[in-house]
Amino acid sequence: MSEQPLQVGGGRNLFGDFAPKLAELTDDVLFADVWNRPELSARDRSLITVAVLTAGGHTEQLRFHLGRAVENGVTPDELIEAITHVTLYAGWPNGMAAMGVAKDIFGADE
């Protein structure tokens, strides 16, 4: 697998003083370990994450991960297509909510 950007979490910045264990798990397990495993590229992990967050209706986290996906090489058009695809499997309300977040983030670019 080719070189990919090191994935770094922001848990300690967000919650370090308030919820130190959650911050530690976010930074040290989720990002430093899982996101940086070589078996999947960061790009693929981003697409999977966007799909799962869309399917679950987790729009607050989706806002962050759409930006992370672009940093990892996924284009806005690919993300819009992924959300469209997931909508037909995971439910219209979740897909429409996710697309609203994508429009907020990418709409100014169009």
| 33-62 per-position pLDDT tens digit | 999 899 999 999 999 999 999 999 999 999
Structural domain containing residue 11: 1-39
Give yes or no: residues 44 and 73 share one domain. yes
Same-domain check for residues 79 and 103: yes
Mean pLDDT across 98-102: 98
Identity of the residue numbered 105? I
Amino acid at 67: G
Q: Report the CATH number at residue 47.
A: 1.20.1290.10
Same-domain status, 45 and 11: no
- Alpha carbons 80 and 53: distance in angstroms, whole number: 14
Whole-number Å distance between alpha carbons of 40 and 10: 21
Q: Are residues 20 and 49 in the same domain?
A: no
Q: Same structural domain for residues 16 and 63?
A: no
Cβ(39)–Cβ(48) below 8 Å: no
Q: How far apart are CA 43 and CA 60, in angstroms?
A: 20
The pTM score is 0.86
Question: What pLDDT does 1 receive?
Answer: 45
**Per-residue pLDDT, 108:** 73
SS3 for 27? Answer: helix
Total count of domains within the chain: 2
The answer, yes or no, to whether residue 77 has pLDDT greater than 80, is yes
Percent of the chain topping pLDDT 70: 92
Query: How many CA atoms lie within 13 Å of 74's alpha carbon, on the beta-carbon side?
Result: 26
15 with 65, same domain? Answer: no
- On whether both 51 and 105 belong to a single domain, the answer is yes
Specify whether 84 is located in the same domain as 60: yes
If you average pLDDT over residues 65-93, what whole number do you get?
97
Structure tokens at 107: 């709409």
